[in-house]
Amino acid sequence: MPIYEYQCSVCQHEFETLVLKHSVAECPKCGSVKLERQISLAAIKSESTRGLAMKAAKKRDQKQGADNARAQREYELHHND
């Protein structure tokens, strides 16, 4: 199944998505369909590339966790239920 990398022309978000027959890819961040397909690098698997991928994923997940925590704090500050 084809997984393609895209960059959104509206919000510049970069992402990968599975594109099936008769489906249109859209940006998960803003919902735009104005996308530029990126050139993907060949996947080479080795112990060192796995380590680099894990390090990059951990860094990405930490940033996402920090962003989520910040959003939660903002929500709690402005919504005293």
Residue 22 to residue 24: CA distance in whole angstroms: 7
Supply the range of the domain harboring residue 6. Answer: 1-40
What is the pTM for the complete model shown? 0.47
Give the dihedral of Cα atoms 35, 25, 15, 50; nearest 10 deg: -130
Residue 45 reports pLDDT greater than 80: no
Indicate whether 80 and 67 sit together in one domain: yes
Residue 1 reports pLDDT greater than 60: no
CATH number at residue 23: 2.20.28
Q: Count up the domains in the chain and report the number.
A: 2
